[in-house]
Structures are given as structure tokens and as C-alpha cells.
Amino acid sequence: MKSLFVAVLAFVMVSSTSFAQDVALQTQFDQLLQAQYPADGPGAAVLVTRKGQVIYKKAVGMADMELDVPLKTDHVFRIGSVTKQFTAAAILKLAEQGKLNLQDEITRFIPDYPTKGKKITVEHLLNHTSGIKSYTSMEEWTPMVHRKDFTPTELVDFFKNQPMDFDPGAQYRYNNSGYILLGVIIEKVSGKSYGAFIDEEFFKPLGMRHSYYGHVKPLIKNRANGYTEGEPSGFANADYLSMTQPYAAGSIMSTVEDLVTWTQAVHGGKVLKPESLKKAFTPNILPDGTNTYYGYGWQIGNMMGSQTIEHGGGIHGFLSMLLYVKEEDVCVAILTNCDCNGPEPLADKFAALAAGKNLSPTAIKLETSVLEQYVGVYENDKKEQRIITLEDGGLKSLRTGGSKYNIMPYAADQFYFENSLSRIRFVRDTKGAKKVTKAFVSDRKTEENLWVKTDKPIPVGRPEMKLPEAQLESFTGEYQLAPGFTITVTREGTQLFCQATGQQRFEVFAEAPTRFFLKVVDAAIEFYPDEKGAVPQMTLFQGGQEIKGTRVK
């Protein structure tokens, strides 16, 4: 009897501790969610599960701002590029059935596609290495074109004669055109429309009763309205986009419950065979050794030492994030109904907390003489640089193409990136001087990236120039770089500011009459005035990429 009493007491104590931990976790989730999404604006629906059990489910904000309808967790959102998971799974299922091979050339299914003498395979489309021009980056894809209905064939015709960006397989460049072609291949092989195939193969068998191909016309219960930034309330209805255009790259609508059901089915082996999943979740390595961190329709990342399998989405009026932490079996789904407030950082924090990670270590104090030992220019094997500087009494880290972060010490030679899940561990030599010789960075891509300290001097700041207010004013406006992703340019006196979708507003500084740079991130923007002085286009230069933007406002 005594042993039974002890066992019962132990069970009660463990259960009480677990309950207290869950209550504390939900309080943290509430604070994070409400801080990002106010109750009187567009909001978000969130669902977090751990080992198949719901540990957090909530919605904040408004589903319809004009009718004062609050968001609920069963509201239906456009999920944008999270659609690519379903498209990739459909292709892999057809491959399992022997109806296609990933090494098939696309001309097997689309004989008249102009490959310009190149061998473009189904796999190239899946992992964004085809070199085909993404239609959403074309100058011809204007706001007027966004409103036009296309058949799949007409959509392919819209981009197929564009010049190739690179030889197939040589580079990685995120590409919506590739997934349009995958949708056409699904239709050709299955004999069904893309929407019908996804519905019959996935939605119905898995009980995803609130997921749809995103047609505009049908009445869909609990469909949330999509918003964007605007005046005078700070929000406006999102611009119209014909849902025939995102197609197999981004046209699905769903709920957080259905997306978690989908994720659990995928990882539970109910959608694809293990060998297919292994291919989908294996990041592609380019010929030069570069890891793309992208498999087939899923991005592969790192969450403080645990592998993540994930994808985000952005489309007119909506942003989304679906994140799975494999080792801890944690799933986070966040759907938002404004293309102005990205959920990815929030999803990262929810996943880390649910997986039991230490989100914010306690910072310790280090003397200036110690901090100075870490200062320098570090390089990785691709000769990219990470510059560690001492500014305002603390260390800052700026990577080529990245943002400048405060890094805070929490243990000997170990720092965390402020407001980030990244960590940096410095290593010293084994000699008496014990100089810092290298650093390992754990970020959302990999567990440890090696950076070797060099003798190169810290780069000096760029020269700045002042421009007249009238000239700065001509650059102000909103420029679209991709569906659901814009850069808004504003002016205050003689200072210009840029704000990307879902990000903070930052100052930009002129280094030429039409070119500006950021100090918090290794990036620049250039404006292109026409002969009348209007500015219809701009380009973002970051991370070795040049991304064109078209003025929409």
C-alpha cells in the first residue's frame, strides 16, 4: 500500500509540474502573439503541437476589419508558397506510381517548351535549380497583369521565352515558374486539374475539410479577408490577384488545423514512402559545394541543434509559416491576413520554446579588454566575411549580405545574437597567447558554420552624400519585388527610409544620386528614374542577388 501511495504521489507531482510548465509556456505564447498582432488590426491564427498534442491554439486580430469580425483558428487563409509542399508531394506520388521519373526532361510532358538546348529535368523544377526565369521577377508582371486570368498553358507562355538565368543545376534561385511547370506536369500525367488532384489525393483522404484550391468566386465559409499597409487607418484591402496565376506555386487556401494535420500525416508516413520523403528532405548541394538548404518543396534548417523542415508563404494580403522540428516532434502553423507583418520570427520563437530550447540566455558582463579580443574580419570557405566590431561598449556582427546584430556574452567565448536564435562560439589557439582564431556560428540553417579569423582590417564606412528633399521625394512609394513582398520607401526631411514586408523600417543613405545603402544590413537599393523624372522601378542588391521591384503605389 505504501509503494502505491508513493507512486500516486510521484505521478501527481510530475503532472502538477508539467501543468505549471504548460501554463507558463502559454503565457509566453500569449505575450509574444499579442505584442506582434494588435486586436483591432489584421491578425494571425496559431496552432502549436508537440508529439501530436495541441499545446497552444489561438487567434488574434480581425478577419474582416470593415465588419468587425474577429479572427478564429478555423478561418481560411491563402497560404502562398506553402502550396509548394503539396505540389512536390504530388510529383513524388506520381513518381512512386511509375508515371514519371524525377530525371525526366520537362519536354517529355511539354514538348514545345523552349529549353534553348539545355537539359531541364523535373528535379531541377523541384529544387529551384532550373535556371528558368521566375515570372514573378519579370518586369512584364505588372499590377495590371496581376488581375488577368490565365490558363496554365497561357501562364507558361507568359514566361517561357525569357532568357535563362543560368545553366540547369548550376545555381539555386527560388523560382515560381518551376512550380507552375510542375502543376502542368501533374495535370498532363494524371489527367485531372491540379486542384482536383490535390483535393482527391490529399485533402479528402486526410480529412482536410477546410483546404481548397483558392478560387476567388466560390463561397468559402470562414474565408478571411486579406490586407496590406495603407492610409488612413494604416491598412487597406489587398490588391486583387487572379488566383489562376499562383496556381501550383501558391494558390492553396487552408486553416492552421488542416496544415498541422498535413504535417503530421507527412511525417507519419501517410502521404509518401520513406524513400520519397528522404529525397524531399535532403537539401540539394550545388556542383561548387554550396548547400541550398532546400529539398523538394521543403526548406531544411536548424533550430539550436535540431533539424527543421519548413516553408513560408507570401501572397497578396497574406503571409504564412509552417515549421516542423523533427527531433522534438514540434509543429507550428501561423497564418496571417496582412502582407505587412511576417510570422516567421514568431514561429521560430514558438517552436524553440515548445521544443524546450533556451530562447534568451542570461547575458554576462565582460571587460572591454576581453571584448576587443574577438574584434576582426572572419571568413568562411566561400570567402564571405563576418565582421565583428566593438561599438557602444558591445560587440556587433555583420555578415556579407546579412543584418548587423548585437551579440551578447553568456558564457566563456560564447555569445547569442540579440532577438535571434543564432549563437556564436569563439575558439582560441592552444598556445600561451590563446588568441581568438576562429568562430562557429549556429543559425537557422546549420548547427555550426566555421569562420576563420583573418588579419584583414575592419572595412571603413561608406562615404555618404546629401540629396535635395525634392529628389528624395521622387523615390518615395511602394515597390513590389514578389507576390506579398514589397519595399515601402518614405521620407522625413532629408532622410530616406525603407521598410520591407514584415520587417522594421530602416534608414538608407545616399552614396550616389540614385543609389542608397543600409548600415544595419549589407544591402543597397538603386532607383531608375525615367526621362520624365518618375521612378517606376528599383533594384535590391543583397547577398549576391539583384531583385527588381516595380512601383505599385
For residue 334, give the CATH number of its domain.
Answer: 3.40.710.10
Domain tally for the chain?
A: 3
The answer to whether residues 422 and 535 belong to one domain is no
What's the pLDDT score for residue 15? Answer: 40
* Residue 362 falls inside a structural domain: no
pLDDT at position 367 over 90: yes
Percent pLDDT > 90 in the chain is 77
Last residue of a domain, one of 421, 453, 485: 453
The answer to whether residues 334 and 304 belong to one domain is yes
Measured in whole angstroms, the distance separating CA 482 from the mean position of its chain's CA atoms is 13
The answer to whether residues 422 and 497 belong to one domain is no
Closest CA to 341 of 502, 225, 482, 486: 502
Last residue of a domain, one of 325, 354, 383: 354
The answer to whether residues 512 and 388 belong to one domain is no
Residues of the domain holding 394 = 368-453
The answer to whether residues 248 and 317 belong to one domain is yes
CA distances from 465 to 495, 497, 499, 523 (A): 11, 15, 21, 17
pLDDT at position 17 over 50: no
480: left (phi over 0), alpha (psi -120 to 50) or beta: beta
What's the pLDDT score for residue 179? Answer: 98
Beta bridge partners of 477: 489
* Residue 63 falls inside a structural domain: no
> What distance in Å separates the CA atoms of residue 222 and residue 83, rounded to the nearest whole number?
20
- Average pLDDT of the residues in 182-194: 98
* Residue 348 falls inside a structural domain: yes
Neighbours of 391 (CB within 10 A): 10
Helix (H, G, I), strand (E, B) or coil at 490: strand
> What distance in Å separates the CA atoms of residue 436 and residue 428, rounded to the nearest whole number?
4
3-state helix, strand, coil in the chain (%, to 5): 25, 30, 40
* Residue 188 falls inside a structural domain: yes
Whether the link from the prior residue into 483 is cis, omega within 30° of 0, is no
**pLDDT-based confidence at residue 20 (cuts at 50, 70, 90):** low
Helix (H, G, I), strand (E, B) or coil at 230: strand
The answer to whether residues 269 and 410 belong to one domain is no
Tens of pLDDT along 281-324? 999 999 999 999 999 999 999 999 999 999 999 999 999 999 99
What's the pLDDT score for residue 359? Answer: 87
What's the pLDDT score for residue 530? Answer: 87
The answer to whether residues 242 and 384 belong to one domain is no
CATH of the domain at 394: 2.40.128.50
pLDDT at position 229 over 90: no
**pLDDT-based confidence at residue 7 (cuts at 50, 70, 90):** very low
The answer to whether residues 331 and 377 belong to one domain is no
* Residue 464 falls inside a structural domain: no
- Average pLDDT of the residues in 238-245: 95
* Residue 27 falls inside a structural domain: no
Characterize 266-302 residue by residue with b for buried, 16 or more Cβ atoms within 10 angstroms of its Cβ, and e for exposed.
Answer: bbeeebbeeebbebbbebbeeeeeeebbbbbbbbbbb
- For residues 399 and 459, the answer to whether their CB atoms sit within 8 Å is no
What's the pLDDT score for residue 21? Answer: 60
Last residue of a domain, one of 354, 380, 409: 354
- Average pLDDT of the residues in 374-382: 93
Q: Which span out of 138-147, 155-164, 443-452, 535-544 was modeled with the highest average pLDDT?
A: 155-164
> What distance in Å separates the CA atoms of residue 295 and residue 285, rounded to the nearest whole number?
9
Percent pLDDT > 70 in the chain is 95
- Average pLDDT of the residues in 451-459: 93
Closest CA to 169 of 118, 115, 112, 106: 118
* pTM value surpassing 0.75: yes
